[in-house]
Amino acid sequence: MQKIILKIKNLRISAEKKEILKGVNFEIKKGEIQALLGSNASGKSTFAQVIMGNPKYKITGGKILFLGKDITKLPPEKRAEMGIALAWQTPPSIKGVRFSQLLEKISKEKIEIEEGMNLLEREINVDFSGGEKKISELIQVLALKPKLAILDEIDSGLDIKKVEKVAKIIKERFLKQKVSILLITHSGEILNYLRPNLVSVMLDGKIVCQSKDFEKVLKTIKKYGYEKCKECFRKI
């Protein structure tokens, strides 16, 4: 039996007096890849930030368990030390610091990815294309040697060829190392190249569907759109 690496119990989150996550239950096993889909402002990125420990969000109920330990009140740095890493949807640009310098601070081992070798002597995310930013995030996460990698919209804004490259890196460098992955995506395009163990759909701060048949879920979304997901998923 696979070990559960992350378990979320009835999680409720608020920010600026507004409830964003409304009783979310979720779990990922070791070595699994799970996809979380949803429309804009459905709560997906908030979910990622809360798992990572962003203090901006107030936990009003529920628990976050990682490797069987309650991390609900732990700060981000402690969660990172335990093995959780997040690839940001919109990473900042940092002038005056080369990407290679950042990697040296993160890890003593060199992370060599063909698609990212031309980024090493450039300032972090400065004039990076959308695809280069995504590859930069993946390299940083790999350098941290995570047990759980949260990839927030890693396919957003990319053309088909770049989505395929990103998916290849995930398969060859994350999944082969048995890293558990929470893959957050709006379009679901990357799932044409990766096969998740489970796909979940989040709407209005709630998970309204979970299915192993991700192809059927994607077809339903493409046919009906997210606005009618609650109704459509009764037919799956």
Contact 87, 185 (CB under 8 A): no
Q: Per residue in 102-159, pLDDT tens?
A: 999 998 777 777 778 889 999 999 999 999 999 999 999 999 999 999 999 999 989 9
The answer on pLDDT for 234 being more than 80 is no
pLDDT band at 199 (very low <50, low <70, confident <90, very high): very high
Contact 62, 225 (CB under 8 A): no
The answer on pLDDT for 236 being more than 70 is no
The answer on pLDDT for 171 being more than 60 is yes
Per-residue pLDDT, 1: 65
Region 63-83: mean pLDDT is 97
Per-residue pLDDT, 231: 65
Residues 6 or more apart in contact with residue 235 via CB below 8 angstroms: 220
The answer on pLDDT for 233 being more than 60 is no
- DSSP alpha helix (H) spans, the chain: 44-52, 76-82, 99-106, 130-143, 160-169, 214-224, 229-232
Q: What is the mean pLDDT of the chain?
A: 91
pLDDT band at 229 (very low <50, low <70, confident <90, very high): low
Residues 6 or more apart in contact with residue 10 via CB below 8 angstroms: 23, 24, 25, 61, 62, 63
Per-residue pLDDT, 235: 46
Q: Per residue in 7-65, pLDDT tens?
A: 999 999 998 889 999 999 999 999 999 999 998 889 999 999 999 999 999 999 999 99
Q: Per residue in 207-218, pLDDT tens?
A: 988 889 989 888
Question: Across 63-67, 156-160, 229-233, which has the greatest mean pLDDT?
Answer: 63-67
Per-residue pLDDT, 140: 93
Per-residue pLDDT, 136: 93
Q: Long-range contacts made by residues 231-236, C-beta under 8 angstroms, separation at least 24?
A: 233/201, 233/208, 233/209, 236/209, 236/211
Q: 36: left (phi > 0), else alpha (psi -120 to 50), else beta?
A: beta
Per-residue pLDDT, 64: 98
pLDDT band at 224 (very low <50, low <70, confident <90, very high): confident
The answer on pLDDT for 188 being more than 80 is yes
pLDDT band at 94 (very low <50, low <70, confident <90, very high): very high
